[in-house]
Amino acid sequence: MTKSQRLFEEAVKVVPGGVNSPVRAFGSVGGTPPFIKRARGAYIYDEDENGYLDFVGSWGPMILGHGHADVLNEVHKACEGGLSFGAATAAEVEMAQLICALVPSVEMVRMVNSGTEAVMSAIRTARGFTGRDKIVKFAGCYHGHADGLLVQAGSGVMTAGVPDSLGVPVGCAKDTLSAEYNNLQSVKERFERCGEEIAAVIVEPVAANMGVVPPAPGFLEGLRKVCDRYGALLIFDEVITGFRLGIDGAQGYYGVTPDLTTFGKIIGGGMPVGAYGGRRQIMELVAPLGGVYQAGTLSGNPVAMAAGIAQLTILQEHPDYYEELNRKGDWFFGQIQRLLEEKGKPWQVNHVGSLGCLYFTGRHVGNYQDAKASDTKIFAEYFKHMLAQGIYIAPSQFEAMFLSIAHTQDMLGKALEGIASWLSQQAETE
């Protein structure tokens, strides 16, 4: 028995399912998860010292790779000063100034502790600003585990066998209206029915919790127009796309300006942190300046701020990194599609820049229903093969693959060899 297997046996006795987040579970693919001990560059290593080429990257924030020397140096210096104060620090100011400088739509920003907190707080702020209660979200888009947002959520919910969640009172979700991603007409219908009651539309500009689903041409622009027409706010959930598709996120990549934006752990170099921000007129409603309450002792934690400032500064100073990442992504995901076509497989690859997903379905994946058509049994076989080859991808059909600056052409070639060998095995068994 491996150390990871022994740890899992102990974990299930004291942790629900043996994991502290459902997306880490191997329930949909079988087996037990490797317990990770350390990471460096593009590799992670488990308790048995097995190395894996990592395409999860802590679910996106490790855009520079694991253990970047400059980031670690700033973290070490911050730790020497103290781990937490629950008081204002200079690092918080520097981080806020940096985000506002990099993302033009953000004039004021509030630090929180996670993407879930950021989204929850942004929605509360939108409701406070508009005086309205209802929000529109999209089926398959995941915005954290706040009660009112677990309505047709994506991500781990899609493989957990739970349609939404137990324990969520009906009243918490009654003001959440669900529309179809990439279907602007479905959004217009919600507004035609109760537009004067809708505070905001919240959207992942690239849906990355049902795999990777890019926005159709005109979709994001259409959302902006609908919100403007009815006086609702447009919230971009950039927990995944923020500072990954470009230094100004998906909003810069697609040229669409939201009213509020949420960010996740990429602004902490992978440490627990989040933020939400937007137009000054809206953010001035946040306490203590205004009547929209939000608080947190650990918000703006000095160690997380140090890591985030280091990472964002590196990205700011190296715009060529984004060109490199997007070039790698175009080549890598394009090569996966080529391999599929060579083997006569109808399966689909979706990608935007350094984000991508292989779907085991023959239909174009443009929304939640399309994504759910993917064959999760085939995915489980594919996942096990890749893991055995030392290639670590998310244990769910409905998660993204993330590339980092640390991934070299040779490393990507190794991953392609793993996919090719699996496809050959598939052909032999048919």
Q: Which residues are catalytic?
A: 142, 237, 265
Burial class (CB in 10 A: 0-12, 13-18, 19+), 6: middle
Question: Angle CA(299)–CA(304)–CA(305) in degrees, nearest 5?
Answer: 80
Compute how many other C-beta atoms are within 10 angstroms of the C-beta atom of residue 371: 28
What's the farthest any 2 CA atoms get from each other in the chain? 66
CA distance 311 to 321: 12
CA distance 315 to 322: 8
> Who contacts 314 (Cβ-Cβ below 8 Å, separation ≥6)?
64, 68, 70, 71, 321
> Who contacts 65 (Cβ-Cβ below 8 Å, separation ≥6)?
40, 41, 42, 404, 405, 406, 407
- Report how far apart, in Å, the C-alpha atoms of 410 and of each of 116, 125, 307, 414, 416 are: 36, 46, 28, 6, 10
Contact 78, 95 (CB under 8 A): no
